[in-house]
Structure 1
Amino acid sequence: MKALLRSLSLLGALLVLGSQAAQAADCTKAATQAEMNACASQTLTQSDADLNATYMAYRDKLDRARQNELREVQLAWLKYRDLSCRFESAASAGGSVAATVRQTCLAEKTRQRTDELKALAGCQEGDVACVR
């Protein structure tokens, strides 16, 4: 698990470095594959930042045992997301569009997870209709 956490930290650092180049691109006018790749990277970086903020806010509302459970779920979800997007983008592997396809998949799944966590965070204590 420590290796996975280190890998996630490294991935985050790489995304930040990649996003610096992406911020220079005007994504509304992206015409080249390199520009589209940079914009996809920028979108993924923003999606990851939104997810991390939502995750931390939700985690802070939980007791220690539930925080640990949430961390385990989140680590499993990250592995699922990455493997799923690798599978879904396999057809473009080796092509110039591969990075855009994979990063778009990662960003979409990340946005979906952010929405899931927001819904969980919005549950009121005792509301049995709300999945906690």
Structure 2
Amino acid sequence: MRQLLLVLASMLTLSSLDTTTVTLAGTTPDLSEILLVQKLNCNNPQTQTAINECTKLSYQNSDKKLNQAYQKLVSTLEKPRKQKLIAAQLAWIKFRDTNCEFERSRYEGGSIAPTIYFGCLENTTKLRTQELQEYLKPDP
């Protein structure tokens, strides 16, 4: 009898809630939805997930700068040198990615692995950007 009363009380409580509340209570948001709601503070990340995401964003910013320098340089070159730069850049990308995969492999399966990988990509990309910018300087 007591269980029946509990069930009836639960049903009455649920029936008094609106549909939106019941639906929200029964759903579990996925991680991407939670990340969209929370503002990412890359000045002071508090979790490994936030550190990983901030490192990725930092790399992406460096990659944009690299692409700007590359496009600027390509536009200044004659066809034979342009082809050589394109070949060099493709080889460099392959080296960068493979090298950073190797660096990350030391931490394979660990939560820090993405930070290691994106940190490597960022550092290597910054060095390459500096090289490309040097090519843009006029000869003395």
Output the TM-score relative to the length of structure 2.
0.70
Once the two structures are superposed, residues 78-98 of structure 1 have per-residue CA deviations (whole angstroms, 9 ceiling, x without a partner) of: 000011111122111111010
Consecutive unaligned residues of structure 1, counting only runs of 5 or more, are 1-20, 128-132
d(CA) in 2 for partners of 1:76, 1:42: 24
Name 1:8's counterpart in structure 2. none
Which is greater in Rg? 2
Instruction: Quote the sequence identity (%).
Output: 34
**Structure 1 position 122 matched with structure 2 position 137:** yes
Cα distance in 2 between the residues matched to 1:78 and 1:59: 16
Higher-RCO chain (CA-CA 8 Å, sequence separation at least 6):
2
Q: Residue 120 of structure 2: which of 105, 122, 125 is its match?
A: 105
CA distance in 2 between partners of 1:29 and 1:76 (Å) = 36
Q: Deviations over 1:3-61 (max 9, x none)?
A: xxxxxxxxxxxxxxxxxx6xx41111101011001101100110110000000001111
TM-score relative to the length of structure 1: 0.75
State the Cα distance separating 1:123 from its structure 2 match: 3.7
Q: How many residues align?
A: 104
RMSD over equivalenced CA pairs, Å: 1.5
Runs of 4+ in 1 over 4 A off after TM superposition: none
